[in-house]
């Protein structure tokens, strides 16, 4: 099956690839833990000045939570899962170095939030994103926090409660993406931007990222605690597991 996260080097830039193409880079326990370990190691590597995060298939950056994981979650273990998700996102937030998301395909739910925690996001005109958690029976809490921070409450409410797809141009307008380039140039352009950022004075970069992190850390931590309580209720009611199992059953037909 191969590694769920692949790390490569391009000069002073590390390219971290979410590598579960058969499920469109959906997040499971292995990918989560491998990503945390990779980002922690890269943050300690003085030869790495910047990081690019991307997906392993042109179809998707990441479609978020693996439905096979969702079927196994329940009121008693969802807190452990979400504590792990907190560490997953914090591995990006805690970086001393700039992080660029090369959004090479669709990004939904936790996958979209992964890109949004990066400093710069570069995509192509066919990219689409969505925050479909409610349609999957899961309250939109972590998505609400990061989306509201980036594009405001009104747009976040409309996007999240409708669970609608947002096209690339609208993403650019809302600040969910910063640049659009031809599809075949997403990774090279992201690496170029990462190199440019990584060449800036490292102490000033580290301290700036620290201050930017501090301005939203309390809200992010509070959102995780709220997500734990709300998802205990939703998984206790059984909605997410039932909808995830129905999705898997349709996929097997």
- In the chain, what percentage of residues exceed pLDDT 70? 99
Q: Which of 1-5, 120-124, 131-135 has the lowest mean pLDDT?
A: 1-5
CATH code assigned to 5-185: 3.90.226.10
Domain ranges in the chain are 5-185
pLDDT at 248 over 90: no
Instruction: Give the integer Cα–Cα distance in Å for 151 and 221.
Output: 19
Question: Do the Cβ atoms of 204 and 30 come closer than 8 Å?
Answer: no
State the Cα torsion 90-220-128-111 to the nearest 10°: 40
Q: In percent, how much of the chain has pLDDT > 90?
A: 95
> Tell me: the pLDDT tens digits for 38-71?
999 999 999 999 999 999 999 999 999 999 999 9
**pLDDT for the residue numbered 253:** 65
pLDDT computed for residue 2 by the predictor: 66
- Please report the pLDDT score of residue 132 as a whole number: 94
176 membership: H or E segment, kind and range: none
Stretch 91-105: mean pLDDT: 98
Rounded to two decimals, what is the model's pTM? Answer: 0.96
**Which two three-digit tokens encode residue 63?**
């479609």
């Amino acid at each position: 099956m191969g590694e769920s996260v692949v790390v490569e080097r391009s000069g002073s830039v590390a390219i971290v690839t979410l590598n579960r193409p058969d499920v469109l880079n959906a997040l499971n326990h292995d990918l989560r833990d491998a990503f945390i370990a990779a980002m922690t190691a890269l943050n300690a590597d003085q030869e790495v000045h910047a990081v690019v995060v991307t997906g392993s298939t042109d179809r998707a950056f990441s479609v978020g939570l693996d439905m096979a994981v969702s079927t196994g979650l329940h009121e008693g273990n969802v807190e452990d899962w979400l504590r792990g998700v907190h560490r997953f996102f914090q591995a990006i937030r805690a970086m001393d170095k700039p992080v660029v998301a090369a959004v090479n395909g669709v990004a939904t739910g936790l996958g979209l939030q992964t890109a949004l925690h990066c400093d710069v996001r570069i995509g192509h005109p066919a990219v689409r994103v969505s925050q479909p958690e409610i349609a999957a029976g899961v309250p939109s809490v972590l998505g609400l926090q990061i989306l509201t921070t980036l594009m405001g409450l009104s747009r976040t409410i409309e996007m999240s409660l409708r669970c609608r797809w947002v096209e690339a141009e609208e993403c650019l307008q809302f600040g969910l993406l910063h640049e659009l380039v031809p599809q075949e140039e997403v990774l090279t352009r992201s690496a170029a931007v990462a190199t440019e950022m990584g060449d800036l004075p490292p102490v000033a970069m580290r301290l700036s990222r620290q201050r930017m992190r501090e301005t939203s850390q309390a809200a992010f931590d509070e959102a995780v605690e709220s997500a734990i309580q709300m998802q205990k209720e939703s998984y206790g009611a059984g909605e997410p597991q039932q909808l995830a199992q129905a999705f898997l059953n349709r996929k097997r037909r």
